[in-house]
Amino acid sequence: MADVDKLDGAEEVLRAILQPQWDPALGRISPSLFEGADVSLSRLALCTEDEIFTMFFRDLDKPDRLVMGAGQLSVAAIEAVGANYQEKPTTLWVAPDPVSDIGHENPAHAVIPPKISRGLSRKLVAEMGQPFIEAQKYRAEG
């Protein structure tokens, strides 16, 4: 029954990156990007990249701190990072978590429920495919 709430490994997800977490000029992402529990992701199987960025801008942008972009990785890669983490092998999974709050609807929302340590977060950041997706691409089109 528990498997019902886990996404298939083949799914691709996006992790939003905020301005304080990304230094594009020097090409670095904070290794803390995935730290904590219930880390938010968005599923590319349910919404397009364009639609997801529109929701990022709607829900995450603040006047002094904009969404800068997103990193992409597969659910299978997330699971593998946890399983292969030598310091402390960890079972990671991605659970669907659609948001239905009026004005903040996001059918593509998902989370990584287990708490992620700095070490694991560092590995997940390294696993994200590059180049990262720049938000400006969608702001310009919008």
Partner 1 sequence: MSTLQNLCTMTAVATAFIAPVTQGHAATNQPRTLKIGQPHLQVYDFQLSAAAATFINGIVFDNPFATATVAIPAKATGLSLAASDALGAHGADRLASFAALEDGWAGDGRAMRFESLSALNAFFSEGPEFPSVPSVFLLKDGSLQVVGESASGGAVEIDFRSDGIYYYSESTDAEGLVEPTSAGYQRLASVIKGQEI
CA distance linking residue 68 with residue 135, whole number of Å: 5
* Residue of 3, 64, 101, 141 that binds partner 1 (CB under 8 A): 64
- Candidate residues 1, 3, 10, 20; the one interacting with partner 1 per rule CB under 8 A: 20
Q: How far apart are CA 37 and CA 10, in angstroms?
A: 22
Site map 79..118 versus partner 1, x via CB under 8 A: ---------------------------------------x
Selected from 6, 9, 30, 134, the binder of partner 1 by CB under 8 A is 30
Minimum distance from residue 29 beta carbon to partner 1 (Å): 9
* CA–CA gap between residue 32 and residue 26 (Å, rounded): 17
**CB of 67 within 8 A of CB of 57?**
yes
Among 7, 13, 15, 21, binds partner 1 (CB under 8 A): 21
Residue 90: which of 100, 101, 79, 103 has the closest Cα? 79
Residue range at the interface with partner 1 (CB under 8 A); choices 62-70, 72-80, 98-106, 129-137: 62-70
CB distance 99 to 53 below 8 Å:
no
Task: Name the H helices within 47-103.
Answer: 49-60, 75-83
> Which residue ranges make up the site for partner 1 (CB under 8 A)?
18-21, 23, 25-26, 28, 30-32, 35-36, 60, 62, 64-65, 118-119, 122
